[in-house]
Structure 1
Amino acid sequence: MKKLLNFNTAVVALLLVVLAALLYTNSQVTAQNQVLHNQVSQLKKQISQMKTSTDEIQSRLGNIEQQLQPGLHPLLAGLR
């Protein structure tokens, strides 16, 4: 009976150590997850800004192209 009690005590102690390790690992993973989440948010903002810039550049190029079409600017039309 005493051996069974010692075995049970050892099992409980081992489970507590495993629980502590899992809780520590969970806190580390949670911290890393937060860092990654912040990085993803920053990347999304940068991509959005780049897309906006690209759209603006495309629009400006379209406007320039229209202005360079023959008939709109006779002086520039001869350069084409």
Structure 2
Amino acid sequence: PNNIDGMARAVAAAFEMPLLERRLRWESMMKKLRSATIEKWFADFIEALDTAHGASRGRDPSGPDSDPSPLWPVRVAASGHSARIH
């Protein structure tokens, strides 16, 4: 949205797009949205963090010293605070 000219061109292209193309694009988008749950996003995000953390330490994140479960939910539960985990 920071590129005003680019946004204007994209909106103009959308208004001029044939109905069939709009429907096909909408169906494709909805298919992706329906398959992408918050749980899947969260799992993918945590996996990416674990991978980045392992790479920054120079080790394979799936190696023998890796911890497959994230510790923060345990810490939150043990702290006695009522935290919402999304």
Fold shared by both chains (TM-score > 0.5): no
**Which one has a bigger Cα radius of gyration?**
1
Whose relative contact order is higher, 1 or 2, with alpha carbons under 8 Å and at least 6 apart?
A: 2
Structure 1 or 2: larger helix share?
Answer: 1
Length-normalised TM-score, structure 1 = 0.28
